[in-house]
Structure 1
Amino acid sequence: MNKLVLPMALVVLAALSGCAHHMARHEVINGAAPMARDVVSSVEPGLFTQHTFTASDGTVLPYRLLAPLNPEPGVRYPLILQLHGSGGIGTDNLRQLDRLAKSWAMPEIRARYQAYVLVPQFPVRSANYGPPSPDQYAEHATALVAALELVETFAQQHPVDGARIYALGFSMGGSAAWLAPTLKPNLFAAIMPVSGIAPANSSAELLRDLPIWVMHGNADTENPIFADLRFSKLIEKRGGQRIFFREYDGLDHQLHADLYPGYWWRNWLFEQHRE
């Protein structure tokens, strides 16, 4: 993995011991700033083709697809399940294209990271959770099950590298990214939940050996950081060696500036392979 050069100070809270890539498992970013609203304003939604998927239970999911820029015959490509926040709920097949989703279509990113990017739109919440508390946890909704069926069906019908399927998202999408491998433990090579709510403790064993990079602002009052800290610490306590936590000091419920262009996390993601 390339050495990471960050434009802000890092305070390392826990040293890495016996973990791949020689990075801290938990780091705090001081001076964190939110991602600018116009950072991907030049991305046209039309770059993502429009489709509809009907799951076996009858759930209808509109979705957008960003295909590899220059696909080569005989080559199989990674697949990214990009999960939207609650602001994207609907059926217009447009609102789910948030900044994180659109960032994959930026010219330099699309050229550098050849992949299929699936962006389903949920007609209802994909993850549910109760009032904030130290014991708060997320539970999946039926719509998330349909999205995972979409991933499996798409991977069977296209040249997808089955060992390199990833899930990521922000807010509700971050919670859904946490939950996805609890529903399909052998599907994902890695997940990246951003500012979400982690699952219940009972799911820790399922995710113990999965590469996970958690990102969360510690001033988040909408999805407080407690749940992510609770679950991440539990995975480590159970012997998990592949979970990393990046805590943004003073950042509220927003995407952070270093997500774009974000070569550091995209490089990490694309290095992960399911055995």
Structure 2
Amino acid sequence: KSCLRNQLTSNIYSINNNDTKSPLVIFLHGSGERGFNNNMPLLANDIPKKVYNYIKKMGAGVLVVPQTTWSADMTGWFRSEFQEGLMQLINKIIVEYSINRNRVYLIGLSNGASASWYLAQKYPDLFTAVIPCSGYVYNEGKKFLGEKGQGRYMEPTDEEAKNY
């Protein structure tokens, strides 16, 4: 368990039964798992459990399950302090846990999936594979449609709207 900027908490699971560098899997939760209970991203989703069991079976790997704090605006992973904290955490883990830099995987669900798309675009050389599940493509500078605290979507640009 670690804390970054008093905002981002994280569960870290590490197994390494051999001398090789380990793969790293990062799981980003959805909006419903934001909060101050660090077990929520684990309890609300089967994905981290399945990844952990796979790593355990294979004998090597590191799983990181960070959690953002709750806020009514539902921005979750798009708050700059979380992105900065997440990148600091990933870079720290790569060094401290002897991670194979060619095997860094990012999985995201809902808001975490949207962040996965965004982070893959922003850091294309960091992730070997990105698995976004039920996310939307987030673009900085776009406006949200919908009210804060409710499901929201990105407003299309004029150029995007011409394509529909």
Runs of 4+ in 1 over 3 A off after TM superposition: none
1:185-219 deviations in whole A, cap 9, x for unaligned?
Answer: 321111010000113399xxxxxxxxxxxxxxxxx
Does residue 155 (structure 1) correspond to residue 94 (structure 2)? The answer is yes
What secondary structure does 1:162 align onto? strand
Q: Name the structure 2 match of 1:164.
A: 103
Displacement of 1:124 in angstroms is 4.0
Displacement of 1:170 in angstroms is 1.1
The answer on whether the counterparts of 1:171 and 1:223 sit within 8 Å (CA) in structure 2 is no
Give the superposed CA RMSD: 2.9
Q: Name the structure 1 match of 2:8.
A: 61
Unaligned runs of 5+ in 2: 142-150
The answer on whether the counterparts of 2:26 and 2:107 sit within 8 Å (CA) in structure 1 is yes
Question: What pairs up with 1:1-275 in 2 under 5 angstroms?
Answer: 51-54=1-4, 58-68=5-15, 70-73=16-19, 75-97=20-42, 98-106=45-53, 110-112=56-58, 114-124=60-70, 128=75, 140-142=78-80, 143-200=82-139
Higher normalized helix content (fraction of residues): 2
Rg comparison, structure with higher value: 1
Unaligned runs of 5+ in 1: 1-50, 130-138, 203-221, 232-275
Distance 1:201 1:84 in 2: 20
The answer on whether the counterparts of 1:79 and 1:161 sit within 8 Å (CA) in structure 2 is yes
What secondary structure does 2:8 align onto? strand
Whose relative contact order is higher, 1 or 2, with alpha carbons under 8 Å and at least 6 apart?
2
Number of residue pairs aligned between Structure 1 and Structure 2: 141
* Identity within the alignment, %: 23
The answer on whether the counterparts of 2:23 and 2:61 sit within 8 Å (CA) in structure 1 is yes
1:145-170 deviations in whole A, cap 9, x for unaligned?
Answer: 31121001111111100111111111
TM-score in terms of structure 1 length: 0.45
Distance 2:22 2:51 in 1: 14
Displacement of 1:109 in angstroms is 5.9
TM-score in terms of structure 2 length: 0.72
Distance 1:154 1:201 in 2: 27
Distance 2:97 2:55 in 1: 21
Q: Report the residue type matching 1:105 in the other structure.
A: Y
